[in-house]
Amino acid sequence: MPFRVIPDEDKPYVSIEIPLEKPLPDYDLDDVEKATPREIDGILVSQGFRDLVDDARGVLIEILCEHHKTLMEQSTHFTDLELTSDAAHPMEIMQLTGAICTEDESYLPGLWIVLRDNRVPPNQPLSPSAVERVKHYANELVRRMDLA
C-alpha cells in the first residue's frame, strides 16, 4: 500500500496517508515496522523523521508549483506583456506531519498530508478529476522521495 487518498465528502479538502514501508537510511530510519503505536512515537519525534517531513514539504511544493508550459512560454514568436498577475496555486498544503499507520498486525510511521483546493466553494467536495490530480501528486511525491 504505497499511499491512500481520502477526500472529504462535504469540503474541498483531501488527505493523503503515505506509510513508510521500507527503511530510509538517509533519514536514519532503519527499522520502521513496530509492534505498538508507542514505538512509532519515538520515530515521529526523531531528527531524521523531522528532516523527512521538511524534505517532503519542499518536494510537494515543487510538485504543486509545476505546470505545463503555455503557448506563450513555449514560443519565441510571442512577447509576454505580463498583464496577468501570478496567482497562487489553487491547491494549498494545510497540514504535513507524521502519522501512525497500521498494516495487518504492525504499525508504521508515515506522512499525513491535507490539501485544500481554493477554487472549490467551502461546502462542496473536490471533483473526481481534482482527486485524480491529488493522486498524481502523491504518486510523484512517493516516487521522487523513494518512499515505497
Report the amino acid identity of residue 117.
D
| Backbone φ and ψ of 18, nearest 5° | -120, 100
In a domain, 19, yes or no: yes
Looking at residue 68, its pLDDT comes to 47
Does the structure show a pLDDT above 60 at 2?
yes
Number of folded domains that form the chain: 1
How wide is the angle at C-alpha 81 spanned by C-alphas 80 and 87, nearest 5°? 85
Q: Is residue 70 included in any domain, yes or no? A: no
DSSP calls for 91-115 = EEEEEEEEEEEEETTEEEEEEEEEE
Reading the block at residue 99, the C-alpha cell is 502519522
Cβ 14 vs Cβ 32: under 8 Å = no
- pLDDT tens-digit profile of 25-72? 999 999 999 999 999 999 999 999 999 999 999 999 999 988 644 555
Domain limits at 112? Answer: 4-65+88-145
pTM: predicted TM-score of the whole model, two decimal places: 0.84
